[in-house]
Amino acid sequence: MNRPFDIAFAFSVIPALLPFLAVTLAVTIASAFAGSVLGLAVARMRLSRSPLWKNLAAGYTTVLRCTPSIVLLFLVYYGLPELARSLFGFRIEFWHKGVFVVTAFALIMSASLSEVFRSAWLSVDRGQFEAAVSAGLSPLQAQLRIVLPQAAVSALPNFGNALIILMKEGALAYMVGLIDAMGQGFLVISRNYGGRALETYLALSVLYWGLTVLVERGFLAAERRLGRGRRSVNR
């Protein structure tokens, strides 16, 4: 029997979802960190002079960006234990589900961020690097002190967008049994025998909207702060 829409239920269920938002944030932060490290490595390969490294990195990003997130999540969740058992004799299927979720989303994030980092690095004028080396800095010092800070400012907006996309795609984690905010929402619906689904999804939307606004505001503030510092240096 259909129940009439009850906005009060939508607000009343938010406290039941809030504690599981910590799982959503943990998955997002861990995936973003691992994806950033891997993305930097792939970006460095794309910037290499070696055709082999360039082609490997290009193939990596193409394959991952063309694979739907839910498909990659299932491939990692079911395929990684099989791979570990067949190659090394390890049984990892009993590991925490969060490990597989973070692995899958880190791979997705790395493919996107590799292009973000590569574009940001190329946006810095090559002449600044050469001038720094001519002034006595080593190539590594010039990269870290001159190129990297400017590239970070250029990468920040796209990094923020990638983080927001990752946070929303992280809602797929419930598909492999990880109970985050979305997973808890499905449990709430199940306890109501399939009822109150609209109210529960509305409550989840409010939580994700709030998180998205906070992330956007944080990155906008960081962009303004770093932008002012960059302008003051260029004067």
In a domain, 90, yes or no: yes
Residue 39 lies in a domain: yes
pLDDT in tens, 129-178: 888 888 888 888 888 888 888 888 889 999 999 999 999 999 999 999 99
Within-domain flag for 158: yes
Mean pLDDT over residues 67-96, rounded? 93
CATH of the domain at 25: 1.10.3720.10
Q: How many domains is the chain built from?
A: 1
- The model's pLDDT over 219-228, given as tens digits with 9 standing for 90+, comes to 999 888 876 5
Is the pLDDT at 233 greater than 50? The verdict is no
Q: Is 2 within the bounds of a domain?
A: no
Structural contact between residues 188 and 198, judged by C-beta atoms closer than 8 angstroms: no
Residue 221 included in any domain? yes
Q: What are the CB-based long-range contacts (under 8 Å, 24+) for 42-50?
A: 42/110, 42/111, 42/114, 43/113, 43/114, 43/115, 43/117, 43/118, 43/121, 46/114, 46/118, 47/118, 47/121, 47/122
pLDDT confidence of residue 27: 95
Question: What pLDDT shows up at residue 166?
Answer: 94
The amino acid that residue 154 corresponds to is S
Domain that includes residue 73, residue range: 7-234
Residue 1 belongs to a domain: no
What confidence tens digit (pLDDT) does each residue in 16-30 have?
A: 999 999 999 999 999
Residue % of the chain over a pLDDT of 90: 68
Question: Which pLDDT score is estimated for 2?
Answer: 65
